[in-house]
Structures are given as C-alpha cells and as structure tokens.
Amino acid sequence: MRIGELAKRADVSRDTIRFYERHGLIRSDVDPKADNSYRIYAEDAVLTLEVIRDAQAAGLSIAEITVFMGQFMAQDGETHDAQQFLEDRITEVTTRITASTRFLDMLRQTKAALARAPQDGLREMSKAKPDTGKKGQGSDT
Amino acid sequence: MRIGELAKRADVSRDTIRFYERHGLIRSDVDPKADNSYRIYAEDAVLTLEVIRDAQAAGLSIAEITVFMGQFMAQDGETHDAQQFLEDRITEVTTRITASTRFLDMLRQTKAALARAPQDGLREMSKAKPDTGKKGQGSDT
DNA sequence: ACTAACCATGGACCATTGTCAATGGTTTTG
DNA sequence: CAAAACCATTGACAATGGTCCATGGTTAGT
C-alpha cells in the first residue's frame, strides 16, 4: 500500500511515517515496475505502527524502538546483546508500570477525596502516601 | 532544607528543581531571618518530587502535573473542572498502562523466542500479534 | 582569613519527537 | 484533459523537558 493508506489505517500522519522511516523504524520499497518514486509499504506496517505506539506508551524512545525492531527482525547473531537489551527494557518498563499504577491510585484517591469534600478542599489527603521504598536516606550527605 | 539537600534526597538535579519551581510544580520560601536569597524547601518537597516522577512515568506533562498539584492542594471550588480533569487523567493513564503491559508481553515473548532459537532468528515470532482496535484517521494536509 | 562548596538568576543551548510549508512530480477522476 | 488528490524531499519551525554556563553573592571548614 502507499503512504496515505497506511497513514489512515494506522491513524498517524504521513509525516510521522516518514519521520519514523528516516529513523529506521519502518521500511518501504519502491515499486520496481512503476517509474514513480512512490514508496510501497507491506501489510504488516500497520501492525508495526501499532507496536511503535505501544512501545512509546511504555516509555521507549525512537532510538530504542529502532533497536527493538532490529532485534525483532534479526536473523543473525548478536544474541547476547539482544538478550541484554531486552532484559533491560523489561526491567525499565516494569518499573514504569509500577510507578504509573502508583500514580493512578493517587489520582483515584484524589478524585474520591474531592467527591467526598467538595468545598472543603482535601487537606486530609495528606495522609495518602506513595510508598516508594527506594531512596530517601534520612539525612544530608 | 536548602536546594542541595533536597536534590540529594529526591535524587534530581538542582537545575531540575528550579525548572519545576519556575513551572509552578513545587514551592519554596526564603528564610525571613536570613539575609541571603537562599530558598527553603519543606520536608514534603521530597515526597512531591517522588510524585512528580511517578506522574511523569505515567505520561503526564509538566503542565498537567502542575494542574494536578494545584488540585491536590486546592481549597477553593472548581470542583467540577477538577473532577473532570482527574477523570480524564485516569482514563489516559489506564490506557497507557494497558499499552505498556501489551508491549511488555511482547518484549518477553521476543526474549523467549530469542533464547529458543538463537542463531535462527525469530521469524516464527510473526505470529505474536497485538490487539488494538481504533478508528479514525490522521490528516496531513 | 581563605578557600571550597553552596546558592540565585538569567539566558543560551540541547535532544527528542514530531509538524508544516515549499517545490515539483504522479495519479485519479469528473 | 484538467483539476483534485496524492506523493517525495528538503529544511524550517515548534513544544517539551531539561542541562549548562556565566556572574556574583553566601556559608562552612581548616
């Protein structure tokens, strides 16, 4: 298919597709039996764009997604780097999901508190604590 | 506490704290009985910075986090806008978590496939398909 | 007292992730 | 056929989220 159709089907702009392509996230060929310069995209490009969307939601940068796509398509070795990369991403994404969920709870609690005491403000909310469990050594250097 | 201590305790740079402050995400006062211009941060600023981190992980922009913080601290009305805002954020964050989780699965599957067929590449992976379901279109002219 | 370490302010600078506009060619369709 | 709609390429522009630097004042340790 051509870029316009892909754009419609994946719900992204043509410019975005071109941007991704420049960054190696997606590929296209030129129809050899046409003498124009129109690029042709495979069917699975739609899927690829959806994966890119998810990957971005998960916090990966374009550069990282490019690597992932490369890994995904890879045929040759470099298995070690690949494994390591994937492991790192898994850790990061997991962490992000945890933080997001924590924040989601906070949103819900805030909303509930607000519903409970509309004009009163929500000073009592102060009790809602995040529960990080990581940093914060109690004193200065 | 002063900015340096806060920076250490919350594990962000001083510049980032100042950046947040300029954008209304955090506040500080000047010690009235000191004649310097050093800013003093309350204890809970550490917590605030942690919440900001989570909110960012959840995909909120600085502007949105600022609104949330305002809501959180709010004393006056505007309950309707607040409720609506919170609801919208809840929907968005939930969606993001779903997408992230979907992508996380993909990472895991890719890793597994790679472990299974190191030199073979993972052509069979093609079967792993997401599961979106949207509509509409992006225009570009 | 002197120096290292800290602080404030302002503005320049940077990477990332696109978007837009100009220019010129191609295809489709009424 | 002629216009509308589509396509490619290039490069400028923009918003976001910081980071760095220069300058000058403050505090703390030795």
Of A59 and A79, the one with more pLDDT:
A59
A57 contact residues in B (CB cutoff 8 A)? 59, 95-96, 99-100, 103
Q: How many CB atoms lie within 10 A of CB B18?
A: 15
Q: Does A55 map to a domain? A: yes
Specify if A140 maps to a domain. no
Residue B137 in domain? no
B14 CA to D21 C1' in angstroms comes to: 14
Same-domain pairing of A29 and A46: yes
Specify whether B89 is located in the same domain as B61: no
Does some domain include residue B54?
yes
- Is A139 part of any domain? no
Which residue of chain A is at minimal alpha-carbon distance from B68? A107
Do A22 and A69 lie in one domain? The reply is yes
Mean of all residue pLDDT scores within chain A: 85
Is there a single domain that holds both residue A68 and residue A90? no
Tell me the pLDDT tens digit for each residue of A124-136.
Answer: 555 444 444 333 3
Residue to substitute from B96, B102, B107, interface A, most A β-carbons within 10 A: B107
Residue A141 falls inside a structural domain: no
* Judgement on whether residues A68 and A106 belong to the same structural domain of the protein: no
Could you tell me if residue B43 is inside a domain? yes
Report the 10 Å Cβ neighbour count for B22.
9
B64 Cβ neighbours under 8 A, 6+ residues apart: B55, B89
Give the number of domains in chain A: 2
How far apart are the C-alpha atoms of A46 and A10, rounded to whole Å? 5
pLDDT (tens digit, 9 = 90+) per residue, B111-122? 999 888 755 555
Work out the percent of chain B whose per-residue pLDDT is above 90.
65
User: Which residues from chain A sit within 8 angstroms of residue B75, using beta carbons?
Assistant: 121, 123
Task: Report chain B residues whose CB lies below 8 A from the CB of A101.
Answer: 97
Cα-Cα-Cα-Cα torsion B43, B46, B51, B57, nearest 10 degrees, comes to 170
- Calculate mean pLDDT across residues A101-129: 77
**Does B140 contact strand D, using a CB cutoff of 7 Å?**
no
Cα(B48)–Cα(A121) distance, rounded to whole angstroms? 18
Please give chain B's pLDDT, 141 residues, in tens: 999 999 999 999 999 999 999 999 999 999 888 888 999 999 999 999 999 999 999 999 999 999 999 876 665 556 678 899 999 999 999 999 999 999 999 999 999 998 887 555 555 555 444 444 333 333 343
- Residue A129: the pLDDT is 46
B26 and B85 housed in the same domain: no
Nucleotide nearest residue B34, measured CA to C1'? D26
Residue A118: domain span: 77-131
Q: Pairing between strand A39-40 and A29-30?
A: antiparallel
Tell me the residue ranges of DSSP E strands in B74-119: none
